Amino acid sequence: MKKWIVLLLSLLLLLPAAAQGETGARAVEFEDFIIHVGENDLLQMGEAGAASLFQLFPDYDEAAQGHPNLSASLAPAAISVLTEEEAAFFAENVMQAGMQSLTGEGITVAGQQLLRGDLDAETGAVTVLFTLVVDASALGVEQTMQVYMGCRYYPVGDERSLSFTVGCTTPEEAEMLFAYLDQNLVIKK
């Protein structure tokens, strides 16, 4: 969790507009899912065999100041949430873990608020979205900003889950990233 939060912050705060990756419409197949990538999307693949599968920037604009993104990784444990109450409890724990990871890196956080913690009864997916204000001085950037972080966990089998992490600076961007998953992701059964 610590790694994805630091990665998210670096992508939102530190990266220059230029990035290396693949563009062009295509379907990218993984063991447990297929994701359809649009022509203007920037896809950066993870190392073969690594838990981090890819980083995706939908409708990537090299000249834009920020780059809403989502990343995919395999979670080593199965996520089994059966009720909305369990989803809310799970979401609160994800937010707390994210805050602890940031503060452990010396990043000051404030104003945290859980915005979503819901369960898709059909797929078993759990969606988490929270916002907080980060002071990135510890990363060498004199900037304080509000960020939106979230995850969508899909159970795949009894021993692991897929985790799609979103990072952006507005709630609209966060919902756009979750909608992107809804429209472009096919979980293999």
Q: In the chain, which residues have pLDDT < 70? A: 1-24
Q: What is the pLDDT of residue 21?
A: 53
Q: What does the pLDDT read at residue 22?
A: 55
pLDDT number for residue 49? 73
> pLDDT tens for residues 80-94?
777 888 889 999 999
Per the structure block, which two tokens stand in for 15?
């990266």
141 CB-contact burial (10 Å; exposed 0-12 / middle 13-18 / buried 19+): middle
Phi, psi of 69 (to 5 degrees): -150, 160
pLDDT at 24: 62
What's the confidence (pLDDT) of residue 23? 57
pLDDT of res. 138: 76
In the Cβ-directed half-sphere of 160, how many Cα atoms lie within 13 Å?
Answer: 9
Domains of the chain (ranges; CATH) run 2-187 (3.40.1000)
CA distances from 189 to 31, 71, 98, 162 (A): 11, 21, 30, 13
Q: What is the pLDDT of residue 127?
A: 94
pTM for the full predicted model: 0.80
For residue 15, the model assigns a pLDDT of 39
- Would you state the pLDDT for residue 109? 92
The C-alpha atoms of residue 88 and residue 128 are separated, in whole angstroms, by 8
Strand stretches in 60-181, DSSP E: 69-75, 108-119, 126-135, 144-155, 161-168
